[in-house]
Amino acid sequence: MKDNPLKKLELLGQSIWLDYIRRDLFSSGKLRKLIEDDGLTGMTSNPSIFEKAIAESNIYDQDIRDIALKKKDVKEIYETLSQRDVQSAADEFRSVYDKTDGIDGYVSLEVNPHLAHDTKGTIEEAHRLWAALNRPNVLIKVPATYDGLHAIQQLISEGINVNVTLLFGLPRYRQVAEAYIAGLETRAAQGKPLKHIASVASFFVSRIDALVDSLLEKLIAQGGQKTDLAKIVHGQVAISSAKMAYQIYNEIFGSDRFKKLADKGARVQRLLWASTSTKNPDYSDVKYIESLIGLDTINTVPPETIDAYRNHGNPKSSIEKDVKEASWIMERLPELGISVDMVTQQLEDEGVRKFNEPFDKLMEALTKKSSRVMKERMMEVPAAFIYKVKENIPTKGRSSFSLNRQCTARTNWTANH
């Protein structure tokens, strides 16, 4: 049997996390197998993943029933289910967390996606989720919107682990890293420990190509002077942008400013490559792993991409190769009439919407499932209870009288149970 390419990534300084969560991963032992056989060291989740797991399967139906019968609303049902899964996953990864002294072994849970532009609401929800999860190896996901920046800084200063998500642009990445460092500096000034504070910056990759490629393909179809340049740049922007982000990472976390914090135990905010499944069937199915391998990085991938890389991955350090070419590609975009700032803002807005929509869809599904449970409950009356009512009903006129008494009994019983 050939060596597992996934396990070789660790030797190159990259961690592989799973971008997926569902309860049967734990109950079947599959997650433990991924940890042991593939060297999996973490897990991420998002509203879309939970929507597919909870709404599109029957795995959670019994729990939904049990929680609904406690007269909990749909938000409470969702939070109970998602928090249980994250806690279970965190417990599975606790050995990784302990073995790596808190560098790896994390599981992420996102704040309500509707809070993406609400700083105060994000901070309050992060506090609540952090306390409810009660695990050192969890990360609270906060969107990298402008309104999220202050929340990131505040949470880090309070010692809450943060996974910064929906990050697309290089200027915003600088702001995210600044928020992390400023949060550490605030904490250090208060004389509080820095060592076990963890944060990752989740830089979304394939979505960049999906949008920019569509713009480039229009230019190519039109013909003209820009055609050749558009062909060269096509399919290269996401990787180039990620490589430039890594250069910013080296600059910021290699600075004297951060060294002062590192001397007090602070750790770097690692770059995490997200959205790394290949959207374009013409591209390699491991394109967004092969090109982004490097020291202190994480790649969070869905199950099918993990399977693909296990099968035909070729692990080689790549994140710092062809950096000049990556810079050249990014500089060419304005010549093609493409504004990187507009592209990344559009992706951020779409990203927020793409998390809001499945979250709302999940709430609708939970509403239907919990309503069905309550209707079924209304129809459930213990046989012994009905028999007790029946035995006290006179024989004469029993049919209609019995029915009325049973209906009354049913209503009274369900109201008190």
pLDDT by residue (tens digit) across 49-99?
999 999 989 999 999 999 999 989 999 999 999 999 999 999 999 999 999
Q: What is the mean pLDDT of residues 227-234?
A: 97
Q: Which of 120, 141, 287, 396 is catalytic?
A: 141
> Catalytic: 192?
no
| pLDDT of 401 | 42
Q: What is the mean pLDDT of residues 142-155?
A: 98
Residue 415 — pLDDT band, cuts 50, 70, 90?
A: very low
| pLDDT of 122 | 98
Fill in the amino acid letter for 151. A
142 with 176, same domain: the answer is: yes
| Three-state SS at 312 | helix
Average pLDDT of every residue of the chain = 91
pLDDT by residue (tens digit) across 259-275?
999 999 999 999 999 99
CB proximity list for 202: less than 8 A, separation 6 or greater: 44, 141, 144, 163, 164, 165, 166, 167, 272, 273, 274, 300
Residue 374 — pLDDT band, cuts 50, 70, 90?
A: low
Cα separation, 177 vs 161, in Å, equals 14
| pLDDT of 371 | 81
Residue 405 — pLDDT band, cuts 50, 70, 90?
A: very low
279 with 386, same domain: the answer is: no
* Bridge-based pairing state of the strands 106-110 and 138-143: parallel
CB proximity list for 46: less than 8 A, separation 6 or greater: 110, 141, 165, 355
| pLDDT of 379 | 64
Higher pLDDT, 412 or 292: 292
Burial tier of 317 (Cβ tally within 10 Å: 0-12, 13-18, 19+): middle
| pLDDT of 131 | 98
Residue 30 — pLDDT band, cuts 50, 70, 90?
A: very high
Question: Would you say residue 393 has pLDDT above 90?
Answer: no
| Three-state SS at 16 | strand
Residue 116: which of 355, 342, 332 has the closest Cα? 355
CATH number at 170 reads 3.20.20.70
Cα separation, 202 vs 218, in Å, equals 29
Task: Supply the range of the domain harboring residue 413.
Answer: 380-417
Cα separation, 195 vs 175, in Å, equals 22
Residue 392 — pLDDT band, cuts 50, 70, 90?
A: low
278 with 351, same domain: the answer is: yes
417 with 389, same domain: the answer is: yes
- Give the whole-number percent of the chain exceeding pLDDT 70: 89
Fill in the amino acid letter for 397. G
216 with 258, same domain: the answer is: yes
Cα separation, 13 vs 293, in Å, equals 8
394 with 369, same domain: the answer is: no
Q: Where are the alpha helices (DSSP H) in 18-159?
A: 24-27, 30-38, 47-50, 61-68, 74-99, 119-133, 146-157
| pLDDT of 1 | 46
Q: What's the longest Cα–Cα distance across the chain?
A: 97
Question: Would you say residue 246 has pLDDT above 50?
Answer: yes
61 with 174, same domain: the answer is: yes
315 with 391, same domain: the answer is: no
| pLDDT of 224 | 87
> Structural domain tally of the chain?
2
65 with 135, same domain: the answer is: yes
Question: Would you say residue 407 has pLDDT above 50?
Answer: no
367 with 398, same domain: the answer is: no
Q: What is the mean pLDDT of residues 9-37?
A: 96
Residue 372 — pLDDT band, cuts 50, 70, 90?
A: confident
Cα separation, 29 vs 263, in Å, equals 40
351 with 397, same domain: the answer is: no
pLDDT by residue (tens digit) across 326-366?
999 999 999 999 999 999 999 999 999 999 999 999 999 99
92 with 210, same domain: the answer is: yes
